[in-house]
Structure 1
Amino acid sequence: MFSKNNLPSAQTVMSTAASIAASAMVLQTVTRNLLPHELQTYIFQNIKGFFKSFSPQMTLIIEEFDGLARNQIYRAAEIYLGTKISPSTKLYRVSMPEKETKIAVSMAKNQETMDTFNGVQLKWRQVTRQVESTYIATQGASKIRSEIRSFQLSFHKKHKEKVLNSYLPFILKESKGLVQEKKTLKLHSLNHDHLRRYGGNSETWQRINLDHPATFETLAMNTELKTMIMEDLERFVKRKEYYRKVGKAWKRGYLLYGPPGTGKSSLIAAMANYLNFDIYDLELTDIHSNSDLRRILIATGNRSILVVEDIDCSLELPERQIEPRPASASAAALKPRKASQVKAYAHFIPCSI
């Protein structure tokens, strides 16, 4: 039992606390002045790590780049977290790139937000550090990189398996859906100069916004046939796993034929607007070798429609020509003189070739 006589006086307590504080300040000053910065950092990191070892929290670091390649998980998290409005998040970045029509929202630098997944509480923090400017190569181009960005995802360590095996795949899937909803449809055409100089890559195609107004609601078409096409498109998009199971490429083709002005281009535009797929417009007469065609196809994007224009005009079909072609015929004479009946071959590419 402690008696009142054994308890230290207030003056003694204050004196002891002041002595400890003074000693700590002296130790801190000596450490800063005598120890190299690297050694200080090493000591403090080890002390910090020692105390963290008793914490039940676990943190994953998701950096923007993996070497020179972009980290898909970082980009997916950036898109996904743009939809999470949390009271703890004070700042958001809002942008609308040139030639786009949708507003993009993302977390600002060094902000935090909370999320919940299947009862698990998760804390996200965006971390940005300034670094010395360096040049990095991205998709065949170079640009200056003056900061390093990453996300820190913190949660209770007992949920590690759920986060890695369920939560992060969920974010990847959700972000793809969000990109599809917000993207502005594009019409791509070949960049012939770039193809000749550099081969096929992301600059092989030139793009503009696809502003075609055609939809299945406005399309003048037999109702039963229209319904059949829409159901077929929906069934195809949902059967990715089936195509993989049977060992087939997840692609689908439509052959559209008929005289000019019968709505073939409008039908393709309606399909693109219905599925939210970009269109790549290709004329085979512009292709001079199989290797060129292969590079062009590799440069197409995910979830897109490849339209092969006037496919019958790209082939030599003697029975469709009005008169025999002389031996010295020009290149223009290779096309049938009769009006094209097969307008386009629409090739759906839901994933990269």
Structure 2
Amino acid sequence: MFSLRNLPSLAPFVSAYESLTGYVMMIKPFLEMTIPPPLQNYMISYLNSFLHSTPSTLTLIIDDHIKNEMYNELYGAAQVYISTKVNHNAERLRISRDRSEKNVNIHFSVGEVVSDIYQGIEVKWRFCVDNNKSNMVHYFGEHFKLNPDRECVELSFEKKHRELVLNSYIPYVESKAKVINNERKILKMYSYCSMYLKWQSVNLEHPSTFDTMAMNEELKRSVMGDLDRFIRRKDFYKRVGKPWKRGYLLYGPPGTGKTSLVAAIANYLKFDIYDLQLASVREDVDLRRLLLGTTNSSILLVEDIDCAVDLHTRLQPKTQDDTKGSAMLTLSGLLTCIDGLWSSCGDERIVIFTTTHKERLDPALLRPGRMDMHIHMGHCCFDVFKTLASNYLGLSHDDPHHLYPEIERLIKGEVLTPAQVAEELMKNEDPDVALEGLVKVLKRKRLELEKYDGETGRGGLRKPELQFFL
């Protein structure tokens, strides 16, 4: 049973309080005489702020794009990093799943806050969307309403940890995001949306690799060696004062594997691809804006550059009548973005041009420093055929088929492209039947070419060209 007798006596506390009060009253006159009033006020103010203050907070805002429309790679790194910090206390989450993924992707919703601990300090992330910037854009006589949503993430922490966050935590987030992206191995294919003046992406699921790529083995090794050398020479490019980029020109007739080689390069390096359609670019300034919107460690692809736009006459000045209703993209503007000062706005980038008519291109596009390596993708030779036979029919290089000698004889010269050979091999799963059909096609094609050579005086089939320039 509760009793007041069990409570401790308050007499010691009362006695201590009386002693402390008497001591303060005794020294107060002495302190007032020896300490100047301004210093007294400062000490009292400091003591009050120490007893009643709350920790001050600093918030860093990380926008998805910088003012000049350059993509903010720190924003992308933050998105990847905080997606791994989902906890059971979250009230709203966004989920998605791409066709190539087995697991559901979880993202934070607008306003959701997630905490993180780094070296004993707490930081808080918050995802935000600014939708107060809706406006209209006048673009060559047309009006477009830009997407008003600008995304950002906020990073909040105590002000006293500012140096630690900026110099240690932010680099840690970037490095962790890079590791996460490499583990996910999901490449992106970007295309330009002229309505919103921005890049839009889809997952790149092209299966082409250098192992399955049907091309001359010597040329394949040269391309892979050049890529490896480019990736590991960051310090070299910095030392010699050159932007860390590399240019490749893929040329040859249709169906020779130019697009497959681009995909193989992307899969080999784990680089995203930015597919630039020059016909959709109106002005040089738009091209610069597009390049600023690309990320590091990426490929800028311009397919069929010989017919994309009329670049070979763009160096000539246009009159007012010529420019009405026509594009203002110039060869000079394109060259500046590829090899001028604008090309230094990024690291570890590859530029790839493809064309079926190399002779139509302006020589200014082809010089080293712009297109560093010229790769001729020619007709199917016997080595390329063997790779295709292995891919499509499962035939081994070590155990050649009895029709191989005849195919080797018939396939010499510009007879069929790799795409045409692959189409014949796909017609039947039985290797004997498929190869017999290919032999018939090769014989018929050679007769047609020999007849054409006799009529035009070409003097026989040409030996397949194989050129590459380092």
| TMscore range, shorter length | 0.5 to 0.7
**CA–CA distance in 1 between the matches of 2:95 and 2:469?**
36
- CA distance, structure 2, for counterparts of residue 308 and residue 129 of structure 1: 39
Aligned residues: 271
Q: Within 5 A, what are the aligned runs for 1:10-25?
A: none
Choose the corresponding residue for 1:163, options 162, 165, 170.
165
Paired with 1:247 and 1:222, the residues of 2 have a C-alpha distance of 34
Q: For residue 331 of structure 2, what is the aligned residue in structure 1?
A: 293
Alpha-carbon distance change, 186 to 70 in structure 1, aligned in 2, over 3 angstroms: closer
The aligned amino acid for 2:272 is F
Residue equivalent to 1:219: 213
User: Which residue of 2 is the match for residue 243 of structure 1?
Assistant: 237
- Once residues 222 and 244 of structure 1 are traced to their aligned partners in structure 2, the CA distance between those partners, rounded to angstroms, is 33
1:54 is aligned to 53
Is residue 2:171 matched to residue 1:151? no
1:273-318 CA-to-partner distances (Å, cap 9, x unmatched) read 222331331413422415523555749997454223135231599x
Q: 2:303 maps to what in 1? A: 281
Letter in 2 for 1:289: R
Q: CA deviation at 1:186?
A: 2.6
CA contact (8 A) 1:268 1:346 kept: no
Name the residue aligned to 1:308.
354
TM-score of the superposition, structure 1-length normalised? 0.54
| Aligned match of 2:24 | none
Q: Specify the SS of the correspondent of 2:111.
A: coil
- Describe the superposition over 1:120-159 as per-residue Cα deviations: whole angstroms up to 9, x where unpaired: 433323165887x551479x8644647986423225x443
**Which protein is bigger by CA-based radius of gyration?**
2
CA separation of 1:221 and 1:126: change in aligned 2, threshold 3 A: same
Q: What's the counterpart of residue 19 of structure 1?
A: none
Q: How many Å separate the matches in 1 of 2:256 and 2:11?
A: 104
Instruction: Give distance in 2, aligned partners of 1:53 and 1:182.
Output: 51
Residue 215 (structure 1) shift: 0.8
Confirm or deny: 8 A CA contact 2:93 2:106 kept in the other structure. yes
In terms of fraction of residues, the more strand-rich structure is: 1
Distance in 2, Cα, partners of 1:145 & 1:249: 34
CA distance in structure 1 between the partners assigned to 2:149 and 2:220 by the alignment: 52
Does the C-alpha gap of structure 1 residues 221 and 306 become closer, same or farther in structure 2, counting only changes over 3 Å? closer
What aligned pairs does 1:1-353 form with structure 2 within 5 A after superposition? 2-3=10-11, 54-56=53-55, 58-62=57-61, 64=63, 72=72, 73-95=74-96, 105-117=106-118, 119-126=119-126, 128=128, 133-136=132-135, 142-143=145-146, 145=148, 150-155=153-158, 157-172=159-174, 174-175=176-177, 183-186=186-189, 202=197, 212-221=206-215, 226-227=220-221, 229-254=223-248, 256=250, 263-275=257-269, 276-278=271-273, 279-285=301-307, 286=309, 287=311, 288-290=313-315, 292-293=330-331, 295=333, 298=337, 303-310=349-356, 312-315=358-361
**Residue pair 1:311, 1:342 contacting (<8 A) in 2 also:** no
Q: Is the 8 A contact 1:215 1:271 kept in 2?
A: yes
8 Å contact kept, 2:187–2:272: no
1:12 is aligned to: none
What is the CA-CA distance between 1:79 and the residue it aligns to? 2.9
Cα 1:312–1:125, aligned 2, differ >3 Å: closer, same or farther? closer
Aligned partners of 1:310 and 1:342 also within 8 Å: no
Structure 2: gaps spanning 5 or more residues: 1-8, 15-48, 274-300, 316-328, 364-457
CA-atom RMSD in angstroms:
5.3
Task: State, as a whole percentage, how many aligned pairs show the same letter.
Answer: 29
User: Aligned with 2:267: secondary structure?
Assistant: helix
Q: CA deviation at 1:209?
A: 6.8
Give 5+ residue unaligned stretches, structure 1: 7-49, 318-336, 348-353
SS of equivalent to 2:134: strand
SS of the aligned residue for 1:135 comes to: coil
Paired amino acid for 1:306: I
| Secondary structure of residue in 1 paired with 2:85 | coil
